[in-house]
Structure 1
């Protein structure tokens, strides 16, 4: 396992009691999900962060690996229902912050770019638009979650 949990910004976010912009869209025993930063994310972009400090897929426990698939399934459906997304792109590089995290980028059908061209294009949100998108995704997760 790489990194230092004392200085890791994602570990600190998990343990500080602070909430990211728009609050937590989803939390459970293994995962944290929040809207991406407005200066670099279009409305509805979600960041998934592992609660436990590790970096790579190969370091996941079997429960983490299985639950990530279920979480992605739920978030894809909620993001497409709560935003104008035709497609939700998944990206996870972990080069800057060596703590497992992944980004989900909603791509609307009306957007002229596709695939990596879409992902490489500048993205940003107005705070009110990002907040509305986070609330919509949270709502769709709540109404579709089992239990």
Structure 2
């Protein structure tokens, strides 16, 4: 099921592909770098291919594979960025379509917890398109090596 008005479902609504293209794509999930202006390099968004708001609407196969895809992506982001931890954030507020933000965090980051998420995504100033594309390539390589 798709929603033609949903940013995640429709390439007509989503006018810009993820920087560096999709780093992971299968029957249920795809992962791309967040828009460069949104967050630090390495911030990725794992999204369901179907238009579902959360785990309640997922198929058994989607629920069964979500943890594995998340863990593999977290490992790839960690390898690609050298971060100490990867924060996860999911609200489905702007679009009722499951998408999980994966945000790198370092011990040297000045903020922790929810403040870090807000700083990284809302007020963080982002990264450059070039750096996002380079980081996406490293994440893709790390994901490919984990198969």
User: Normalising by the residue count of structure 1, what TM-score does the alignment of the two structures yield?
Assistant: 0.89
Return the match for 1:109 from 107, 110, 117.
107
Where does 1:1-147 land on structure 2 (aligned, <5 Å)? Answer: 5-13=3-11, 19-121=17-119, 122-123=123-124, 124-145=126-147
Q: In the alignment, is the contact (CA less than 8 A) between 1:84 and 1:109 conserved in 2?
A: no
Cα distance in 1 for residues equivalent to 2:97 and 2:118: 22
Deviating beyond 3 angstroms after TM superposition, the runs of 4 or more aligned structure 1 residues are none
Unaligned runs of 5+ in 1: none
Over aligned residues, Cα RMSD in angstroms? 2.1
1:5-59 alpha-carbon deviations (Å, 9 max, x no partner):
1211211139x9x743210010000011100011111100001111111112111
Q: In the alignment, is the contact (CA less than 8 A) between 2:19 and 2:136 conserved in 1?
A: no
Q: In the alignment, is the contact (CA less than 8 A) between 1:46 and 1:104 conserved in 2?
A: yes
Q: In the alignment, is the contact (CA less than 8 A) between 1:44 and 1:79 conserved in 2?
A: yes
Quote how far apart the aligned CAs of 1:65 are.
0.8
Cα distance in 2 for residues equivalent to 1:46 and 1:8: 19
Cα distance in 1 for residues equivalent to 2:140 and 2:107: 22
User: Normalising by the residue count of structure 2, what TM-score does the alignment of the two structures yield?
Assistant: 0.89
Cα distance in 1 for residues equivalent to 2:137 and 2:107: 21
Unaligned runs of 5+ in 2: none
What secondary structure is seen at the aligned counterpart in 2 of 1:75?
Answer: helix
Quote how far apart the aligned CAs of 1:109 are.
2.3
